[in-house]
């Protein structure tokens, strides 16, 4: 069994060995999805942008498959109070941003933000790099299976308000889905789950994963949730 172990310079590899059967559709989606099927915002061709990574971590909870999310502290200057995947910018010690650097960064950031034990996480794939124009981040979504769950909580309350899991059943429930409308006119998918509004980049990734995994259920795209300028 290949394990994602030491996040500081040790070997961090991808393995599909021993994954639960229900993750099969996600694995196939990750292997076949094209960048423009995920987002119209792709990394600048000139290589600009700050390399970063997020951990898209699937676990199995009391209600079946679930995803790990965190909510950013309301005092932060950017994306305050917004739910997101654990993650952040690559550090030099994470290594090559074009090979295993994003894998190491995703695990390191998840450990720093949520306290999870990286040795219990099995990385099984990466999605194409995407771009967040408002922040200039080039983001690699790193896919993981929480093979050996460990306790999680907000490590630094100045950065993270809370850490929580969301059952996939709630994410696919049409009653929990909506379209956000930003004052700029931009529209995007959203999820109203666990007393949180998940929108923006994170909701976009979840929306596309549900769609290409065949898990998506028909939902009312005319149901709108307004966002304010501070978002």
pLDDT, one tens digit per residue, over 29-61 is: 999 999 999 999 999 999 889 999 999 999 999
Helices marked H in the chain — which ranges?
24-32, 35-38, 101-114, 168-172, 200-212
Predicted confidence band of residue 3 (pLDDT cuts 50, 70, 90)? very low
| Contacts for 142 with CB less than 8 Å, ≥ 6 apart | 53, 54, 55, 56, 102, 103, 106, 107, 123, 126
With beta carbons less than 8 A apart as the criterion, state whether 204 and 39 touch.
Answer: yes
pLDDT at 230 over 60: no
pLDDT per residue over 53-91, tens digit each?
A: 999 999 999 999 999 999 988 665 555 678 999 999 999
Question: Virtual CA dihedral for 154, 111, 148, 15, nearest 10 degrees?
Answer: 140
pLDDT at 23 over 90: yes
Predicted confidence band of residue 5 (pLDDT cuts 50, 70, 90)? very low
Strand partners, 196: 193
| Contacts for 99 with CB less than 8 Å, ≥ 6 apart | none
Residues 166-182, mean pLDDT to the nearest whole number: 96
pLDDT at 176 over 90: yes
pLDDT per residue over 208-218, tens digit each?
A: 999 999 999 99
With beta carbons less than 8 A apart as the criterion, state whether 47 and 136 touch.
Answer: no
Res 11: pLDDT: 74
Res 38: pLDDT: 95
With beta carbons less than 8 A apart as the criterion, state whether 29 and 128 touch.
Answer: no
3-state SS class at 202: helix
What integer best gives the mean pLDDT of the chain? 91
Res 1: pLDDT: 31
Res 182: pLDDT: 84
Residues 131-151, mean pLDDT to the nearest whole number: 95
Number of other residues whose CB lies within 10 A of the CB of residue 81: 15
Residue of 112, 127, 128, 141 whose CA lies nearest to 52: 141
With beta carbons less than 8 A apart as the criterion, state whether 199 and 189 touch.
Answer: yes
**pTM higher than 0.75:** yes
Q: What percent of the chain has pLDDT over 70?
A: 91
Res 4: pLDDT: 41
């Amino acid at each position: 069994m290949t394990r994602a172990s030491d996040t500081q310079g040790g070997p961090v590899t991808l393995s599909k060995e021993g994954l639960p059967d229900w993750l099969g559709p996600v694995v196939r989606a990750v292997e076949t999805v094209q960048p423009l099927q995920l987002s119209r915002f792709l990394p600048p061709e000139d290589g600009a942008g700050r390399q970063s990574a997020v951990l898209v971590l699937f676990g199995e909870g009391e209600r079946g498959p679930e995803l790990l999310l965190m909510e950013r502290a309301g005092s932060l200057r950017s994306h305050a109070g917004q739910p997101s995947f654990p993650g952040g910018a690559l550090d030099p010690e994470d290594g090559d941003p074009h090979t295993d650097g994003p894998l190491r960064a995703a695990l390191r950031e998840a450990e720093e933000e949520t306290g999870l034990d990286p040795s219990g996480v099995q990385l099984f794939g990466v999605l194409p790099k995407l771009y967040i124009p408002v922040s200039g981040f080039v983001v690699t979504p790193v896919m993981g299976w929480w093979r050996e769950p460990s306790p999680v909580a907000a490590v630094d309350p100045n950065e993270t308000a809370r850490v929580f899991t969301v059952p996939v059943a709630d994410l696919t429930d049409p009653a929990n889905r909506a379209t956000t409308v930003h004052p700029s006119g931009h529209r995007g998918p959203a999820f109203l789950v666990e007393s949180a509004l998940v929108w923006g980049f994170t909701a976009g990734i979840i929306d596309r994963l549900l769609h290409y995994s065949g898990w998506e259920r028909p939902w009312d795209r005319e149901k709108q949730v307004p966002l304010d300028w501070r978002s």
